[in-house]
Structure 1
Amino acid sequence: MALSRSPAASRRGGRGAIPGAVTDVKPPRPPRRRARRMIAGTLVLAGLAVAAHAAAWTWSTGALAVGMSDWVTQRRAEGWTISHQPPTRGGWPFAARVSVAEVRIETPARANEAGIVHQAARLVVQVAAPRPTHLEVLADGPQRIELGGTAIPFAARRFALAVPLAAGPAPPVELDIAGLEALLPAGPVRLRAARILLHPGGRLPRPAESEPSVALALQAEGLEPPASPLTAALGAEIEALSADAVLVGAQPLRGPPASMAAAWRDAGGVFEIPALALRWGPLQGDAQASFTLDRALQPRGRGSLRVAGAPAAVEALARAGLVDASAARSVQTVLMLMSRTPPEGGPPRVELPMALTDGTLSAARVPLLRMAPIDWSRPRGW
């Protein structure tokens, strides 16, 4: 005989139920109070983090604004003329940024030293998350530089100067340029991309590590110089250019340009080019050289050039009238005798000694080009 449990017995909490009988049991509900506490704690922590970040951003932009104001005050005390619109803050949350519009900076003109004027539609000073160790100065919109009465308007898709913030030995100052278009007195110039590293203490190899120096490293591509017989001969675009340069010697005191140049020469000043590489039309090669100033304060020096495509380049220069026809034939004869095919293959290359003496550039003792003399009577800045 089957046993059953009446509904009334179930409502009475099991009175009358037979021991051992199976009954329906509901699972316990999750603790809602604990979940609410966890969510509330997470929100509080997130709010504190946002508030701390906002406070740090406010402090950083304030420090940038104060630093910019101090710099302007110091330059004005030195005689500079600086004007701009009131600064504005921005960049949150990934950068601390201060920007100013309608900037005009003019250095004072002194005896034998021309003033320099720089105008920019907008300048931005920032410390951004990708590079928190550098202070970046970016120029937006049209710009204009005036040197000795000559105006050079230009604009770039990117024109950024990065200055290291670390004290003591620090990375170099970097200038990153992309999409540059400028109008020089000789004509328009374009540059696809370039990167310049400036080492004020001289980080590149140089003759004497103990001597004061300034080192510079340049990498550029897609350079279109103003139209000239040289561009007509070799091509409108320099595909690639890289160079390391070191200026060795103490910087002389202020004075007339000729006196400063003579003082630098007498102190043993040297301009070193440890490495230079060029790819321009039929010409592809690398060089190294060292220059100083002669008694007439004109550059003189020696170096070596290793180049491929030299015969075609010399022929193009001769057709453009830049090299005398007889000199071109002599150089081509020398090139044929000295050309060697590299062990790794490729076009024949030739290595030539170069010299610059009395304004004449020669290769393997064959005169090539006559250089225009430097006029030291012009004010500095021109």
Structure 2
Amino acid sequence: MTDRSSSARHSRRGLVVPLVLALVALAGWTVWWFVLAREVETRLEVQAQALRDSGWSVTHGPIRTTGWPFRVRVQIADPDILAPSGQGVSGPVLVAEANAYDPGKWVVIAPEGLALVRGDKGRVDIRGDALRLSASGLAAPFPTLAVELVNPVFTAQAGAEAFPISRAGKIELYTRPNATDVANLDVMFRMTDAEGRSGGPVEGLAQNGRLTAQVEGVVEDARALQGMDAAGVFAAWTRAGGRFTGVRGTLEAGQSRALLSSDQLNAGPDGRLEGRIALQAEQPMSAIAGLARSGSGSVDRAGAAGAAAVSAASGDREVDLTIVFRDGRTWLGPFALAPAPKLF
């Protein structure tokens, strides 16, 4: 009788002890989760206030934190973030998520789309199957970032300047710290199957087809990308001597193909690119001629037509060309094609 009673007590203890340990662990984890959630909300507000103190306009609606027990999910209603340059984003809602056991990596999504604010150019609505940003290494001088827009559609709001493209299969932007120089930043941009707006330069360049591009390079002196003046971060970076180096890429526009490279590009005082890009092009005449026929007022049609005529001499052969950005214009030999790309 005594042996059976002792055995029963040991059996019950064997069940109770693991249960008690599990409850203690769950209670400890729950405390940790709420502390983490509160810390996230506090840091968000501190960062928002720091931006406001630097001249940014930052407003938002209620912030709701959920996701217990294994995730931290922060939902921000009606975010509106505007830099002193007049550029920024706004939208109905932003959602940020991270694993509670690894809060150093976050994914931010815009499930109901975003509006891109472009200063005097007005706002552009962006909708798509997925609009997301992932960020890791937030404690480092430069975090690792990945922006992905899947099947995005761009619609300029009433009174806004038209956007160069109307839609794309995918748009990606990746940044990471340079492996050999911590002052620099590696950047890659990829756009797949983009369609230009009706009558615009991209539609002409792609000859009513699709535009696909991939460009990568190094942003030197990236620590200077922190200006808060009205011109934006690239203005401060330019004043500090910032430049793009090791630029390499590919371009496909309709039937035209090109490999591009540049040892150095920088921005002038007006914010427009300066420097040279070497192109190893296949059937460039089709793209340049399409650009000349576009209805965009920014395209120098006479210059593009002249460049197309010269390019036609190469026929279908591969030809080496040089694009030059100078005096605020984009030049192919003696022919001005369009304004140079503007960074700020």
- The verdict on a shared fold, with TM-score over 0.5 as the criterion, is yes
Q: Distance in 1 between matches of 2:101 and 2:256?
A: 39
Q: Distance in 2 between matches of 1:360 and 1:263?
A: 22
Q: Does the 8 Å contact 1:287/1:305 carry over to 2?
A: yes
Match of 1:47 among 14, 18, 23: 23
Deviation at 1:231, TM superposition (A): 0.9
Higher alpha-carbon Rg: 1
Deviations 1:247-278 (A, max 9, x none): 43584977786xx969947x655333521112
Q: Which residue of 2 aligns with 1:372?
A: 339
Q: Which residue of 2 aligns with 1:331?
A: 311
- 2:53 is the counterpart of 1:83: no
* Percent identity for Structure 1 against Structure 2: 20
- 2:159 is the counterpart of 1:186: no
- 2:136 is the counterpart of 1:159: no
Q: Distance in 1 between matches of 2:42 and 2:228?
A: 31
Q: Distance in 2 between matches of 1:80 and 1:268?
A: 25
- 2:241 is the counterpart of 1:278: no
Residue ranges of structure 2 left out of the alignment (5+ in a row): 1-6, 295-300
63-72 or 47-56, which moves further after superposition?
Answer: 47-56
Match of 2:331 among 325, 348, 361: 361
Deviations 1:21-69 (A, max 9, x none): xxxxxxxxxx777665544444334333333332222121111111112
Deviation at 1:287, TM superposition (A): 0.3
Aligned pairs for 1:110-149 within 5 A:
114-116=85-87, 118-128=89-99, 132-149=103-120
Name the aligned partner's letter for residue 252 of structure 2: R
Q: Distance in 1 between matches of 2:110 and 2:31?
A: 27
Q: Does the 8 Å contact 1:230/1:322 carry over to 2?
A: no
Q: Distance in 2 between matches of 1:354 and 1:40?
A: 76
38-47 or 64-73, which moves further after superposition?
Answer: 38-47
Residue ranges of structure 1 left out of the alignment (5+ in a row): 1-30, 109-113, 340-348
Change (3 A) 1:372 1:241: closer
Q: Distance in 2 between matches of 1:80 and 1:297?
A: 21
Name the Cα RMSD after superposition: 4.0
Change (3 A) 1:40 1:179: farther
Deviation at 1:217, TM superposition (A): 1.3
Q: TM-score, normalised by structure 1?
A: 0.67
Q: How many equivalent pairs are there?
A: 320
Deviations 1:60-83 (A, max 9, x none): 111111111222333333444433
Aligned pairs for 1:233-382 within 5 A:
234-236=206-208, 238=210, 240-248=212-220, 251=224, 264=238, 269-272=242-245, 274-289=247-262, 290-292=264-266, 299-314=273-288, 316-317=290-291, 327-334=307-314, 339=317, 349-358=318-327, 359-362=329-332, 365=333, 367-372=334-339
Q: Does the 8 Å contact 2:184/2:220 carry over to 1?
A: yes
Query: SS of the counterpart of 2:40?
Result: helix
Q: Does the 8 Å contact 1:314/1:332 carry over to 2?
A: no
Q: Distance in 2 between matches of 1:63 and 1:304?
A: 50
Q: Does the 8 Å contact 1:84/1:102 carry over to 2?
A: yes
Deviations 1:129-158 (A, max 9, x none): 696431333333243243334222223443
Deviations 1:282-341 (A, max 9, x none): 1222201233467988644223212334354455556666765564343232456xx3xx
Q: Distance in 1 between matches of 2:179 and 2:197?
A: 31
Q: Distance in 2 between matches of 1:231 and 1:116?
A: 26
Match of 2:70 among 84, 88, 94: 94
Name the aligned partner's letter for residue 175 of structure 1: V
Deviation at 1:95, TM superposition (A): 1.0
Q: Distance in 1 between matches of 2:28 and 2:154?
A: 44
Name the aligned partner's letter for residue 98 of structure 2: V
Change (3 A) 1:308 1:62: same
Change (3 A) 1:129 1:287: farther
- 2:189 is the counterpart of 1:222: no
Q: TM-score, normalised by structure 2?
A: 0.73
Q: Which residue of 2 aligns with 1:174?
A: 146
Query: SS of the counterpart of 1:55?
Result: helix
Q: Distance in 2 between matches of 1:160 and 1:306?
A: 34
Deviations 1:220-239 (A, max 9, x none): 32322322254145245545
